[in-house]
Structure 1
């Protein structure tokens, strides 16, 4: 992998995080007015169309992309990600973008913690220390004794757990399926699941909000396209640390567009979470080099 490709990969990852942060801002705007399930359902329709379009252009077409020896696992992964997105968008409506993302950034630590029981991987004491430090950061964000027992404060933590489990199952599925297959099932299974539930919560939408919904769908497709291109030109280990910039972009959007505030405890706690997460990623990269796009391009945030 050349240095120029790595630079391009980093730029693409930065662009990806910005687009996904914009997507989160649009999701929050729409979910403040309309049912979360309906918003996510429409978003998934465009995501599924994008996935099917990508699959149809590959060798073997849709039949090859859908071919899997573990359909139950692939369907479960797709449904799990759809549930995680619904939970995270719900968190935006209760806590806003700043605090939700500050807590959600703990998901790499959850992946590290769960990689042992789920994948049978060995987690050394250094990564366990990073996991502990990261969750101290989460507690600082939640303000123990004041907000830790508030139900809304737990919502993004649940989303982080679901996304971590989804990421681990994606790694597990990659042992037997290609990234194209996992990506296909992620979009299709999620779209079917959301449609079966979301249609019961349909609400009339004004013309202006249909415009915002269109922007939401476009950012979803664009973000995934950028992420795929990112992993095509650079190793995952080289670009993954820059995924944390989504927290920065989401915070900027939350403050400037939604009037959110950045509390001191959130700054300190998020700093600990991000620092611990970067250390855990570094230790994992030393222990086992990251794979290429086959293992990584399906691991995307909400």
Structure 2
């Protein structure tokens, strides 16, 4: 991607680093809470509180940028997306509860691979040999990271796979 202003690249890199830092802090905090309470029923509360915090932060940002629009939008696809995102978050947090970070993130990185493969097989999308090569390389990369020879497979491995789909 070519930017007219090289400063935009640097700002994008800084934002990406900050986002990954805060995602890691968020995941570590949630893993700690789940370890502390050892109760699956707290997942709904965690998702609710995350949603409230995100809404407040995003609302303040949009208000600051003068782009805050409080028009109510109701559409079935939007509600369906919210439901699917909530289910994915629940399964991600279940994986976070039972799996180490490395294995969880490796399995979550299967998402683009699964989306490409399911698009080809279920939806009949045309996927060229270059993309199939990338899918195979990505899958091999995931296998290298999770090291299936030294891995104790259990039911917890299903959670991040469901979240990735």
When normalised by structure 2's length, the TM-score is 0.77
- Do the aligned residues in 2 keep the contact of 1:31 with 1:39 (CA within 8 Å)? no
Q: Which stretches of structure 1, 4 residues or longer, exceed 4 Å deviation after superposition?
A: 51-57, 115-121
8 Å Cα contact 1:109-1:134 kept in structure 2: yes
Higher mean displacement: 108-117 or 7-16: 108-117
Asked if the contact 2:109/2:142 (under 8 Å) is kept, the reply is no
Give, in whole Å, the separation in 2 of the partners of 1:139 and 1:4: 37
The answer (yes or no) to whether the contact 1:52–1:62 under 8 Å persists in 2 is: no
Q: 1:41 aligns to what?
A: 48
Cα 1:11–1:39 change in 2 (3 A) is same
CA distance in 2, matches of 1:73, 1:144: 42
Quote the Cα distance in structure 1 between the aligned partners of 2:61 and 2:86: 20
Deviation of 1:116 (Å)? 4.6
Aligned length: 155
**CA distances 1:54-91 after superposition (whole Å, capped 9, x unpaired):** 566426x211xx446xx111111122112212211111
Match of 1:293 in 2: none
Q: Deviations over 1:164-192 (max 9, x none)?
A: xxxxxxxxxxxxxxxxxxxxxxxxxxxxx
1:95, CA displacement in angstroms? Answer: 0.7
Structure 1, unaligned stretches of length 5 or more?
162-302
**Residue 67 (structure 2) aligned to one of 58, 63, 76:** 58
Taking the aligned partners of 1:113 and 1:14, their CA distance within structure 2 comes to 29
Q: Please give the residue correspondences for 1:161-172 in structure 2 after superposition, counting only pairs within 5 Å.
A: 161=165
The 2-side partners of 1:14 and 1:52 are apart by 22
Deviation at 1:129, TM superposition (A): 2.2
Do the aligned partners of 2:43 and 2:90 also contact (CA within 8 Å) in 1? yes
Indicate yes or no: 2:120 matched with 1:113: no
> What is the root-mean-square deviation of aligned Cα atoms in Å?
2.8
